[in-house]
Amino acid sequence: MLNESQRTSLTALAQCSIVHGIRYGCPIKVDTSQYDPILRAQGACFVTLHRHNQLRGCIGALQAKHPLVEDVAINAYAAAFQDPRFPPMKKNEIDDLSIHISVLSKPEPIDFSTEEELLKKMRPGVDGLILVDRGHRGTFLPSVWDTLPEPKAFLQQLKLKAGLSEDYWSDSIQIERYTTESW
């Protein structure tokens, strides 16, 4: 669990990386030695941007490959300028921007044989899920349960996000779960 000071530090870093991106066209370079040791540890996060209560970008990493502070800077920049659903952010959008950060736990496989068994093992409001099968991949953060509270609908929409049909099933489908600490 991160304390309030650590969360504030990461949110400020995300905003700095976006502002830096507007000025210089790249994420801010992070001097990790300037941050709390907990924030220098490897970590994976998603950065979600909203403007006027509307999604404006969301990019993240499912696996920890960088110090958490670097992951925040990289993903904040990417959410603002590289989310293919939106045009790159403009300077005039900064003032109305809301930044949300979700730090992910390490994904763990869920053991199941049938879709019914998987549905029973899903934890609404708790689990983020990663679906992988035959070159298809998709994830939903735990916050998606707010709009898709039923496990069956959650799984159907995750399949669609991964580029599969909502009734798709195969014996090779793999599902991993993770939790997030979000603010």
pLDDT of 140 reads 95
Are residues 91 and 164 both part of a single domain? no
Residue 10: pLDDT band with limits 50, 70, 90: very high
- The parent domain of residue 46 ranges over 4-104
Residues 6+ apart with CB under 8 A from 97: 15, 18, 49, 50, 51, 56, 89
Total domains in the chain come to 2
Domain end call among 47, 80, 104: 104
pLDDT tens readout for residues 24-79: 999 999 999 999 999 999 999 999 999 999 999 999 999 999 999 999 999 999 99
- Look at residues 82, 67, 103, 62 and name the one whose alpha carbon lies nearest to residue 18: 82
pLDDT of 42 reads 97
Integer Cα distance of 13 and 105 in angstroms: 21
102 touches 61 (CB < 8 A)? no
Are residues 97 and 17 both part of a single domain? yes
CATH of the domain at 127: 3.30.1490.150
Domain end call among 82, 104, 126: 104
Are residues 175 and 88 both part of a single domain? no
Are residues 76 and 157 both part of a single domain? no
pLDDT of 25 reads 96
Residue-level length of the chain: 183
Burial category of 140 from C-beta neighbours within 10 Å (exposed 0-12, middle 13-18, buried 19 and up): buried
Are residues 38 and 91 both part of a single domain? yes
156 touches 166 (CB < 8 A)? yes
Are residues 137 and 156 both part of a single domain? yes
Residue 84: pLDDT band with limits 50, 70, 90: very high
Domain end call among 69, 104, 139: 104
The mean of the pLDDT values for the chain is 97
pLDDT tens readout for residues 163-181: 999 999 999 999 999 999 9
Which residue spans within the chain are E strands per DSSP? 42-51, 54-60, 66-67, 97-104, 108-109, 128-133, 136-140, 174-178, 180-182
pLDDT tens readout for residues 91-149: 999 989 999 999 999 999 999 999 999 999 999 999 999 999 999 999 999 999 999 99
58 touches 16 (CB < 8 A)? no
pLDDT of 85 reads 94
